[in-house]
Every structure is written in structure tokens, then in C-alpha cells.
Amino acid sequence: MNFLFACEGSADLDLVERLKDREAFKSYFIEPVSSDQYRWHAVLNGMDELKVKAIVQELSIFRRELEYTLTSLDVDDPEVFAFLRRLTRVLQRSQSWTAGYDEIKPLSHFMWSIHTGWDQIHGYTGRDVIAEMIEAI
């Protein structure tokens, strides 16, 4: 919803539901909104401290839930455990993300990758790696 508020000023609940699909999210936010800007760029340009703070708060909740899970359960697969530990570190660092021009970049890269399945090595994978790793527990 915060992405839609940032680029459009409002959030249609049906659209929010549709954007939960990886391909729908990617298609929607990669649409051009002007001759030199995609919708995702409009999101980043529309991010203010309140919107970033709301996203960071949601990531903090997710981090706490993930940490609880990692301390409560035995994770036998070392690859899964290492991935989830790296994820908790990224989520911890997210607490310092702000809406400044350069400061928004880590937030942008992280959110784009988790919502579209983007991987710097493999490109668009179509996978939800976080869900896969959680399921592997």
C-alpha cells in the first residue's frame, strides 16, 4: 500500500491484492508513467519519511518473527540456516533506512528483489526464495 501511496496518492484494495502476485507486481511497477520514468521510479520519488518508516516497521516485525522462529526451531539444513541468518542481518540493517536520495537505494533493491524474485546473479527467477527457505524449516 505504501508503494501505491507513494506513486499514486491512493491504494485500491483490489489492486493491492493483485500485486501480491510476483508477475503482476513486476508488470505494474515497470510500466512507464512518463517518457523518462517507470512507476517504480515514481514510487521511490514519492517516498517520504513516514512511508519509509511504515515499511521499516513492517520489516522489523518480520525480523522479530524470523528470529523467534530461528531460536525456537532446529534448522537442520545449513544452507537454509545461513540464508535466514543473512536475511535477519539485512532486516536489522533496514532499521537505518531513510527516504534520502542515496539512502532509499538499499530499500529499493531489497523490496524489488523480494516482490519480483529478482536475483543479482540469476536475474528474474520467478521464485519466492524467502518462502522456500521458511518452508524448508
CB 22 within 8 A of CB 113: no
What secondary structure does DSSP assign to 1-59, as a single string? Answer: -HHHHHHHS---HHHHHHTTSHHHHHHHHTSEEETTEEHHHHHHHH--HHHHHHHHHHH
pLDDT at 115: 95
Instruction: With H, G, I as helix, E, B as strand and everything else as coil, classify residue 99.
Output: coil
pTM to 2 decimal places = 0.87
Q: Could you read off the pLDDT of 68-90 as tens digits, one per residue?
A: 999 999 999 999 999 999 999 99
pLDDT at 101: 83
Enter the DSSP assignment of 100: S
pLDDT at 103: 86
Show the low-confidence residues of the chain (pLDDT under 50). none
pLDDT at 137: 87
Cα 99 to Cα 45, 51, 62, 87, 121, distances in angstroms: 9, 8, 20, 21, 27
E strand or H helix at 102, and its extent? none
Among candidate residues 39, 19, 23, 43, the one with its CA nearest the CA of residue 31: 39
pLDDT at 123: 92
Cell of 21: 502476485
Among candidate residues 1, 7, 2, 5, the one with its CA nearest the CA of residue 40: 7
